[in-house]
Amino acid sequence: MRNAALMLGVIGGIWGMLVGFFSFGYTELLDRFNELAEFTGGVENPALIRTVSLVSPVLAIAGGAMARAQNIAAGVLMLVSSLGMYVAFGFGAFTMFPIAMCALGGVLALLARRPDLH
Q: What is the pLDDT of residue 36?
A: 86
**Backbone φ and ψ of 92, nearest 5°:** -145, -165
Instruction: Sort 76 into a burial class: Cβ within 10 Å, 0-12 / 13-18 / 19+.
Output: middle
Q: Which of 100, 104, 99 is nearest to 4 (CA)?
A: 104
Q: What is the pLDDT of residue 118?
A: 60
- Cα 1 to chain centroid distance, Å, stands at 20
Q: What is the pLDDT of residue 42?
A: 84
pLDDT (tens, 9 = 90+) of the chain, 118 residues, equals: 899 999 999 999 999 999 999 999 999 999 998 888 888 888 899 999 999 999 999 999 999 999 999 999 999 999 999 999 999 999 999 999 999 999 999 999 999 987 766 6
- Cα 91 to chain centroid distance, Å, stands at 12
Q: Given phi > 0 = left and psi -120 to 50 = alpha, else beta, which region is 45? A: beta
Q: What is the pLDDT of residue 116?
A: 64
Number of other CB atoms surrounding residue 72 within 10 Å: 11
Q: What is the pTM of this model?
A: 0.91
